[in-house]
Amino acid sequence: MQHIESTLVNKINSLPELLQKVAQWKAEGQKLVFTNGVFDLIHTGHITYLAQAAELGHKLIIGLNSDASVKRLKGESRPVNNQDSRALLLSAFFYIDAIVVFEEDTPANLINAVMPDVLVKGGDYTIENIVGANEVMANGGEVKTINFVEGYSSTSIINKIRSHSS
């Protein structure tokens, strides 16, 4: 059990730790994929989206919104799960290679630091409104969108729970 636990925790990185991994992976010729989000209540839509993102390269890096940034973006009642819990849960996915928590409202600084080969966001985004898209493309990278699985969102799950508990 201790080996599994350390494997999971090793995927959760500070920015300096992540940048060391990124440098090593780039030196090895690995194709790096980056996406970001809150990932509060993991559901079928997240699993499908992240698996499809992982298929676009060799290493999948997740930028995870900090608790403070989630509160600013989604309101005081969010996140349901704290950033440590969300990071640990994501680390259990075999196709996720690294997770880094970021404090800002957008991952712009993180994307510029990592400079992935592929930047991925959900299908509700267009390339014009994806943070970091211009910089990634200017560096020779690609920007991709992945369609959502209809009927799944953390907000709708939270609302359903709330309506059943009142």
pLDDT tens digit sequence for 52-94: 999 999 999 999 999 999 999 999 989 999 999 999 999 999 9
Task: List the domains of the chain with CATH numbers.
Answer: 2-165 (3.40.50.620)
Per-residue pLDDT, 159: 62
Per-residue pLDDT, 150: 66
Query: In the chain, which residues have pLDDT < 70?
Result: 1-5, 149-162, 165-166
Evaluate the omega torsion of the peptide bond into residue 107 and state whether it is cis, within 30 degrees of 0: no
Per-residue pLDDT, 149: 66
Per-residue tokens: 21 = 């991994």
Contacts of 114 (CB under 8 A, 6+ apart): 18, 19, 22, 32, 34, 61
If DSSP codes are grouped into helix, strand and coil, which group holds residue 148? coil
| Distance, CA of 77 to CA of 69 (rounded, Å) | 12
> Vertex 125, ends 147 and 11: CA angle to 5°?
75
Cβ proximity of 31 and 58 under 8 Å: yes
Q: E strand or H helix at 112, and its extent?
A: helix 108-114
Contacts of 141 (CB under 8 A, 6+ apart): 115, 116, 117, 118, 119
Per-residue pLDDT, 32: 98
Per-residue pLDDT, 142: 97
pTM comes to: 0.90
Per-residue tokens: 78 = 């969010």
Task: State the Rg of the chain over Cα.
Answer: 16
Per-residue pLDDT, 156: 63
Find tokens 């709330």 and name the residue: 162
